[in-house]
Amino acid sequence: MSLTFNERVAVVTGAGRGIGRAIALQLASEGVTMLCVSQSQSSCGAVADLINASGGKAKAYPVDVSDGEAVSAAAGEILKEHGTVNILINNAGITRDGLILRMSSEAWQDVIQTNLTSCYYWIRNLAHPMARRRWGRIVNITSVTGISGNAGQSNYAASKAGMIGLTKSLARELASRSVTVNAVAPGFIETDMTSVLDERTTEIILKNIPLRRLGKPEDIAQMVTFICSEEAGYVTGQIFTVDGGMVM
């Protein structure tokens, strides 16, 4: 089935690498104008350059998504230049792992601020233009950890579970304006975050994945692309696990 995109403009946070990069490239291949956000100009800039060199349309915006004022300024610049944003992918995320009895307040706050509060910042600035035009797609990239939890990642799990609650609530708020809000919960994906796992840990993880392999960023990008298409207009408030069958 061919998916339909009608000259849409999309913001993807954390677009410089991994899952965000794959999402940006996949949406760009569908003709979507990509606005690539990451903290580093070099990373989001490289992705935007790749898209432009391939015949697509993209621009890079270096933004610290945990900084509300920086997000507001970037969103204002984006809306001034492009008129509106039709698609928002909240993907930026970090980990600061550790047992909670030893976890510093900084490790807790940094993860919550970057992973969860950043979604609020972007949605607050970009959802209104979508609602006004009565079309929009918001996709929050959460995690299976936000569903099942994981020892040593209470801050990360809390941030990702918060994104699920945000998704379901916002879907109800924006449904009357034809703006859909969904979440994708990746399992273990081959990214920088999983590359640090040792062989023994990887073996234990694979035993809990029925498909017996780690996912690829493109697996997530394909799901996100469908949710953002015209064809997914009757899908909202849903959490899609893409995890090789780990959470059933």
Tell me the catalytic residues.
156
Give CA 98 to chain center in angstroms: 23
Sign for the pseudo-dihedral over CA of 138, 144, 150, 153: negative
**Strand (E) positions, the chain?**
9-13, 33-38, 58-62, 87-90, 136-141, 179-186, 239-242
User: Please, are residues 228 and 87 in contact by the beta-carbon 8 Å criterion?
Assistant: yes
Return the SS3 of 140: strand
The helix (H) or strand (E) run that includes residue 145 is helix 145-148
Angle between helices 18-29 and 41-53 (to 10 degrees): 20
